[in-house]
A and B are shown apart, each in its own frame.
Chain A
Amino acid sequence: QSVLTQPPSVSGAPGQRVTISCTGSSSNIGAGYDVYWFQQLPGTAPKLLIYGNSNRPSGVPDRFSGSKSGTSASLAISGLQAEDEADYYCQSYDSSLSGSYVFGTGTSVTVL
């Protein structure tokens, strides 16, 4: 059972902006641990999208942005495109679980 909660799904029309929340607690995101975001296209392995809360690896479009505040983090996708239709997962670390890496519950993004 994941300790990071995400909405099951979000949707938007092409060109719109959508946001995905990742809600944790004082033992993970709230403890100051970094948040990472991954994009998983259908039938493929997850791909690193955001690291260190808000940084994009080279090659990731600047339409993707991340932020963190308190015990939560968010991923925003602006200028939504059909190719953004995928599952998105946040990831952090939890000190209350003998030091475990933890993933969010995952969010499916649909482009209308």
Chain B
Amino acid sequence: QVHLQESGPGLVKASETLSLTCAVSGGSISTYSWSWIRQPPGKGLEWIGYIYWSGSINYNPSLKSRVTISKDTSKNHCSLKLSSVTAADTAVYYCARHFQYDSGVIDGFDPWGQGTLVIVSS
């Protein structure tokens, strides 16, 4: 059973770069596609971007200029970098594996990591 674990600094200073890692266990990161999703405290979910099994990458247009998603197959993890952060980037950050089924048109997300809270301080 695949397990995802996000890790990284819980506190980042405004204008700096947020860097998180999602460690995958119980499966190969090369076989599936992966997304990063965030949730500000008390608010809803926002998709940040994905990296497909093929290496193809796409980002939320609202974050595209500041986001970089990558993967390291040797370490079996994927990474998120978000530059020039502000207080609005304070959120719980989740990584999630893409869920596909036979006749599916688009992917869903399952499973999810437990999430990691990142607070942007001024």
Contact = CB atoms under 8 A, between A and B. Distances in A.
Interface of A: 2, 32-34, 36, 38, 44-48, 51-52, 55, 57, 89, 91-93, 97-106
Nearest to A50: B108
Contacts of B61: 97-98, 100
Interface of B: 35, 37, 44-47, 50, 58, 60-61, 64, 94, 99, 101, 103-115
B108 A48 contact: yes
B44 A103 contact: yes
B60 A92 contact: no
Q: Which of A2, A46, A55, A89 is most buried by chain B, counting CB atoms within 10 A of its CB?
A: A46
Contact of A92 (B64, B103, B106, B113): B106
Contacts of A104: 44
B104 A52 contact: yes
A104 to B, nearest CB: 7
B44 A106 contact: yes
B115 to A, nearest CB: 5
A89 B45 CA distance: 8
Q: Which of B47, B108, B111 is most buried by chain A, counting CB atoms within 10 A of its CB?
A: B108
Nearest to B107: A101
